[in-house]
Structure 1
Amino acid sequence: MNSQTIAFSGSHIDRADHIRNDPEALEALKTWEARLLRMDGLDPVLTPDNTLDWGSLADASPDSELVFLGLDGPGDEVRGCFAEVRPSYPSGSPHAGPASWNAMAVLEAGELAAYGGARSLVGWHARHRFCAVCGSPTELAKGGWQRTCTNADCKSEHFPRVDPVTIMTVECEGKLLLGRQPRFPQGRYSALAGFVEPGETIEEAVAREVFEEAGVRARDVEYVISQPWPFPSSLMIGCHAFADDPAIVMDETEMEDVRWFTRDEVAEALEATARGEQGRAFGAPPRTAVAHALLRWWVERG
């Protein structure tokens, strides 16, 4: 599958890792030409043309920290791109809200990816102002790709992390296992998902989550596709697996319903989503979700 078709992938910003470790090069980029990504808390700010709103470093608060996102622009016009970490914690939920869903619907792929990376990074800084080892304040380092403890006896280094999440379709007797959580829109079903736990492989996490949520034993796990998901900072690892026994024993503490759907039902649900409608058997995940790509991949492979 082409990863460029996945929401939050394909950023046009060069991360320029070599500059992060060069304080002089970083400072040289902080000119009037540098761009500052405008954000409302963790939400994107869009122009009337539905593009990301970029300002200058002069727009940043004097007591904010600046995170270096990378370089953008052709040839001699390349400019440094930054985001602002304000001293107060960003307002709003760490999960996707109306502004983020709107951005997913209207932003060009490269811009959506740029916003997603910035959102995850700014959110991480906001949550890690204090050292997890000794509790002392931390300060930004390496252009925002590290925080360092200010306690001279500690000096622990902390780095931005992503949380790996397996999201998987399971096939048995030509049908696909999907479920719905109570928070889903009415009629929506999606692939089962869960965080990878310490000491697990991706394959083990898939098998465990499927059994925990649906009571189904999954086997022959294969990787399909991945997606950065900046709410707050996950990496969705899309997989497909098979099962020999379709009997379902649902975890009612997490799931509202789990059931098997035929290939025709999944295909019709995807077609309905493309028309802005809900399928006859169920409502498919939105096109911006990696679950949608997994369902389409399964239908198209036949």
Structure 2
Amino acid sequence: MQKSEDVTFGGSGLDRAGELRGNIPELARAMQAPGTRAVALWRGKPLVAGDAELCLARLPLAHPAFADAARPPILLGREEGNAVFAHDISGWDPDGQDLSKLGAFVDDSEQAHPAMPGGHRFAELRRIMTRLGARDAELAATAKAIHGWHATHGFCAKCGAASEMHQAGWQRICPACGAHHFPRTDPVVIMLVTHGNRALLGRSPGWPEGMYSCLAGFVDSGESIEAAVRRETLEEAGITVGPVRYLASQPWPFPSSLMIGCHAVALDDTIRLDPNELEDALWVTREAVAEAFAGRARHFLPARKGAIAHFLLRNWLADRLD
């Protein structure tokens, strides 16, 4: 698929500076360099600035707001020769600001830290992801995913002792038993299942009214991508799938998935829904999907812009899957 790296969160060509992670002297020099910057997170929300042209904020490592950091800065990579880190200041309590929508499917609240420059605020990444440039989106996704891993994996999975951060944030080591732990990424297949001129779409409970998306599911241990596509489609909708081909992937830091986009051809079209998996599933024609993307569908909303499901459906409509 020629446009596979145009998907949100991928394709910016970030230099991840892997050789610096274990080089303590060079890492120390990078942290003290005048051009070094850090992006900030608060409860998973990146710090952004601007309105019409939204950008991921980059601050000096010595910025006073980082006094609330939950852990040492994590190296994200290098931009134009300068190191970029990520700080998590989730310990900050935004007194008097709207926190009622935190964790909701749609969180349009924003929080402003008093020590940050004017116009800087924390915003939900899913809501703003399409307004960020490719580099900013990749940095934000990486920062959210890696800090999310540290927040939930502070103890050794082998012996239960508290582990310690190493390799500039890209490894945890248990001082009790010596076990090494690495950031978790969960492979998820997401499939554009077609049958002639129609695509199979489903919806999960709790989604906004009318929203439908491509079917998806986690890859089992010992399972290939193709097998996962066939199993998940059969389990969720009762549809048997024949040929499967890979199209594109997308890092999805909600919290730590790698979405593996595939095209699958259905061998039948009789939906046998598993209500434990989906609230509903239906076949939708190209024309109906095009109407929905144009905002003219009355009872059908496509996957949100920025998600790989939206990307796959748009390329299907444009006949660009090859």
C-alpha offsets along residues 211-244 of structure 1, whole Å, 9 cap, x if unaligned?
Answer: 1110111111111111110110101111111122
> What displacement does 1:138 show?
1.0
Cα deviation for residue 26 of structure 1 reads 0.6
Which runs of 5 or more structure 1 residues have no equivalent in the other structure?
A: none
1:151-187: CA deviation from partner (whole Å, max 9, x where unpaired): 1xx1100001211000112122332111112222111
**What is the DSSP-based 3-state SS (H/G/I as helix, E as strand, rest coil) of the residue aligned with 2:244?**
strand
**Equivalent position SS for 2:230:** helix
Measure, in 2, the Cα distance between the counterparts of 1:94 and 1:282: 21
Paired position in structure 2 for 1:279: 297
Structure 2 Cα separation of the partners of residues 6 and 264 of structure 1? 23
CA distance in 1, matches of 2:268, 2:155: 49
Aligned residue type for 2:86: A
Q: Deviations over 1:25-69 (max 9, x none)?
A: 111101143211122221011113521121111133377312111
**Within 1, Cα distance between the matches of 2:205 and 2:221?**
27
Q: Distance in 1 between matches of 2:83 and 2:150?
A: 19
Task: Please give the root-mean-square deviation of Cα atoms over the aligned residues, in Å.
Answer: 2.3
Which sections of structure 2, spanning at least 5 residues, go unmatched?
94-98, 109-123
Displacement after TM superposition at 1:88 (Å)? 5.7
The letter of the residue matching 1:184 is W
1:78-227 maps to which residues of 2 (within 5 A)? 78-85=81-88, 93=103, 97-98=107-108, 99-151=124-176, 154-227=177-250
* TM-score of the superposed pair, with normalisation by structure 1: 0.89
Cα deviation code 1:119-158 (max 9, x no counterpart) = 101111111111111111111111111110011xx11000
Q: Secondary structure at the match of 2:147?
A: helix
Number of equivalenced pairs: 291
Instruction: State the AA in 1 paired with 2:72.
Output: E
Return the offset for 1:108.
Answer: 1.6
Deviation at 1:10, TM superposition (A): 2.8
Give the helix-richer structure, 1 or 2.
1
CA–CA distance in 2 between the matches of 1:292 and 1:182?
19
Classify 1:259/1:246 alpha carbon distance in 2 versus 1 (closer, same or farther; 3 Å): same
Specify the alignment match of 2:75 in structure 1.
68
Q: Distance in 1 between matches of 2:291 and 2:257?
A: 29
TM-score by length of 2: 0.84
Once residues 96 and 194 of structure 1 are traced to their aligned partners in structure 2, the CA distance between those partners, rounded to angstroms, is 22
Call closer, same or farther: CA 1:257–1:94 in 2, change over 3 Å. Answer: closer
1:80 to partner: Cα distance: 1.2
Q: Is the 8 A contact 1:3 1:225 kept in 2?
A: yes
1:48 to 50, 53, 73: 50
AA at the equivalent of 1:80: A
Cα distance change of structure 1 residues 72 and 300 upon mapping to structure 2, 3 Å threshold: same
AA partner of residue 101 (structure 1): R
**Alignment CA distance shift 1:301-1:24 (3 Å):** same
Structure 2: which amino acid aligns with 1:219? Answer: G
Q: Secondary structure at the match of 2:84?
A: strand
Within-5 A mapping of 1:255-270: 255-270=278-293
Separation of aligned partners in 2, 1:37 and 1:165: 27
Cα distance in 2 for residues equivalent to 1:63 and 1:291: 34
Distance in 2 (alpha carbons) for counterparts of 1:22 and 1:248: 55
Contact 1:119 1:230 in 2 (8 A): yes
What CA distance in whole angstroms lies between the structure 2 residues aligned with 1:40 and 1:200?
36
CA distance in 1, matches of 2:90, 2:299: 48
